[in-house]
């Protein structure tokens, strides 16, 4: 379990919930910083979601696992629709926020510890760019095989991701080049989240193209059934068992 001092993401959510206002700093390991008011998005209601996310909800069915549930916006929407949902997150305060907001089933657990001990699921959602939680090509394939074992025969993964090759900012392009020189994937970024005096541990977060995603899935028992496109670098993949 991460320490309170490391739970920057959770403190962002909790302060926003308590109407204190909050901000999110994303620090990349090359010195690049990005400051956002992302908490507003984490608490947004269905009517305010991007159209691509609203479309993705049509593909959710059965018992659902929400990986990286954050403040619980997707889980709470599906719970209100009558689905059985388990929210999972590595942030203790994110779990507390979900419980305060009324999510009935939520568990403090990192993605690497998800297993069939949690039961079997019909849908796994990884929205809000949470495909990135796979971290690397190798770890993604390992986790996809674990997900295969903890899901039903007709299960699907619905995941959202950014294509790094559709970025034109020189600071991002130079980072991609540096990654390739170090034999990493271009979109395999190393970041941490900061807020006030809090900072998460450094972690890898993965952006991939559609071709890279399909290469990653090969041999894991999964394949892409459908893509939902946003018209920019963000897309959603509906992934099913082969």
Q: For the chain, what are the domain ranges?
A: 49-189+203-241
- Indicate the CATH number for domain 49-189+203-241: 3.40.50.150
**Residues 155-208 pLDDT 10s:** 999 999 999 998 888 999 999 999 999 999 999 999 999 999 999 999 999 999
What's the rounded Cα separation, in Å, for the pair 153 and 88? 22
Confidence of residue 153 (pLDDT cuts 50, 70, 90): very high
Q: Could you tell me which of 228, 242, 188, 191 has the C-alpha nearest to residue 212?
A: 188
Burial grade of 188 (CB within 10 A; 0-12, 13-18, 19 or more): buried
Confidence of residue 22 (pLDDT cuts 50, 70, 90): confident
Tokens of 67: 């990986």
Q: Are 69 and 75 in contact (CB under 8 A)?
A: yes
Q: Could you tell me which of 217, 76, 197 has the C-alpha nearest to residue 134?
A: 217
Mean of per-residue pLDDT scores for the chain: 96
pLDDT score at 1: 84
Q: What pTM was computed for the model?
A: 0.96
Q: Looking at the predicted structure, is the pLDDT value of residue 116 above 90?
A: yes
């Amino acid at each position: 379990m991460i320490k309170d001092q490391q739970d920057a993401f959770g403190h962002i959510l909790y302060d926003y919930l308590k109407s204190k206002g909050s901000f999110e700093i994303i620090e990349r390991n090359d010195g690049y910083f990005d400051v956002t008011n992302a908490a507003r998005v984490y608490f947004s209601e269905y009517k305010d979601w991007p159209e691509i996310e609203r479309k993705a909800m049509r593909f959710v069915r059965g018992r659902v696992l929400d990986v990286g549930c954050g403040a619980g916006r997707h889980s709470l929407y599906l719970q209100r629709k009558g689905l059985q949902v388990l929210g999972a997150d590595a942030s203790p305060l994110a779990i507390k926020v979900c419980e305060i907001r009324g999510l009935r089933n939520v568990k403090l657990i990192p993605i690497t510890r998800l297993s069939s001990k949690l039961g079997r699921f019909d849908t796994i959602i990884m929205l809000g760019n949470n495909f990135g939680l796979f971290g690397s090509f190798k770890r993604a394939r390992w986790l996809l095989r674990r997900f295969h074992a903890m899901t039903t025969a007709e299960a699907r993964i619905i995941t959202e991701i950014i294509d790094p090759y559709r970025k034109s900012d020189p600071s991002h392009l130079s980072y991609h080049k540096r990654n390739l020189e170090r034999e990493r994937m271009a979109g395999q970024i190393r970041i941490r989240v900061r807020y006030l005096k809090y900072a998460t541990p450094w972690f890898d977060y993965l952006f991939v193209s559609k071709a890279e995603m399909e290469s990653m899935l090969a041999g894991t028992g999964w394949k892409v059934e459908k893509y939902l496109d946003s018209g920019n670098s963000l897309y959603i993949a509906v992934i099913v068992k082969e």
